[in-house]
Structure 1
Amino acid sequence: MREGRSPKGAVITTAELAGIMAAKRTYELIPLCHPLALSKVGVSIEMDDALPDFRIEADVRLTGQAGVEMEALVAVSVAALTLYDMLKAVDKGMVIGAVRLEEKSGGKSGNWRAETVTS
């Protein structure tokens, strides 16, 4: 998979793209979320060599007062679902878990950081 030779091709790149696309459409998925003109959406997926796991992170930014937590959480969730879809032929027993907000800044509610940040 590191070399892009999994059964469905470049799995990580495809999942990162899916996450970016999903963040931009959060308002269509989550009731009462507003469409936002996002100024940046980045999704990164790294393989954990110690475990058979992936670490998925989203960085979503907006110029303005609205928060973008939901957009970041949707990006990570859809990227994880895309990984599952593309790798289910290899392992149907994969588990998606621990989707959480680690940090936010700005917006109406100000800055916030989770007490324990996972790495």
Structure 2
Amino acid sequence: MRNYPHINEQGRARMVDVSEKEVTRRTAEAKSVLKMKPETLTAIYEGTVGKGDVLAVAQVAGIMAAKKTSDLIPMCHPIPLRGADISFSSLGEDQLEIIATVKTDNVTGVEMEALTAASLAALTVYDMCKAYDKGIVIEQTCLLKKTGGKSGDFHRGDEEG
């Protein structure tokens, strides 16, 4: 049987032992993109969505999600974050891009924290705008880059294949 780090000797899931790993600075950046009606995106930026300031609430939701990732994803290690930020930008007239950036000094990375932050910020935008536009689609969530750790750096677009 192959040695999978998340599988114990009985073939069951386990949390990986990271006690022998070295503490390094680790960062990760992830994004989510939402496609919506142009008038929905306009309402978000003009602050006329009935539930309030969509981007402010999504910002807080994303940061909270980064901090709570290990409570949501079973095999994630709880790690202290050194920073978490969410930014928003328009991609044309009908798409909102959310970028989550997370940092730590730890023995394990923050990719899942960045992905969770971007995802929850996107879900929050949907929740706050669903009465306005039920057709919103969360089109893309992906890791953009990560730095630090034994496996080295990753930048989307640089991977082989």
TM over 0.5: yes
Residue type at the aligned position of 1:19: G
Which of 67, 75, 78 does residue 120 from structure 2 map onto? 78
Which of 82, 91, 94 is the matching residue for 1:39? 82
Report the RMSD for the aligned CA atoms in angstroms: 1.2
Q: Paired residue for 1:8, among 51, 56, 70?
A: 51
Q: Check if 1:109 corresponds to 2:151.
A: yes
Distance 2:107 2:153 in 1: 12
Q: Deviating runs (4+, > 2 A) in structure 1?
A: none
Residue 16 of structure 1 aligns with an amino acid whose one-letter code is: Q
Q: Percent same amino acid among aligned pairs?
A: 48
With a CA cutoff of 8 Å and minimum separation of 6, indicate the structure with the bigger relative contact order. Answer: 2
Quote the Cα distance in structure 1 between the aligned partners of 2:89 and 2:123.
15
What is the total number of aligned residue pairs between the two structures? 115
TM-score (norm 1): 0.91
Pick the aligned partner of 1:58 from 78, 84, 100. Answer: 100
**How far did 1:113 drift?**
0.8
How far does residue 79 in structure 1 lie from its aligned partner after superposition? 0.3
Contact 2:79 2:106 survives alignment (8 Å)? no
Structure 2: tracts of 5 or more residues without a match = 1-43
| Structure 1 CA distance for aligned equivalents of residues 150 and 113 of structure 2 | 16
Cα distance in 2 for residues equivalent to 1:64 and 1:34: 11
Q: Distance in 1 between matches of 2:45 and 2:119?
A: 21
Q: How many Å separate the matches in 2 of 1:83 and 1:16?
A: 10
Deviation at 1:39, TM superposition (A): 0.2
After TM superposition, give the deviation of residue 46 of structure 1 in Å: 1.9
Of Structure 1 and Structure 2, the greater strand share is in: 2
TM-score with structure 2 length normalisation?
0.68
SS at match of 1:22: helix
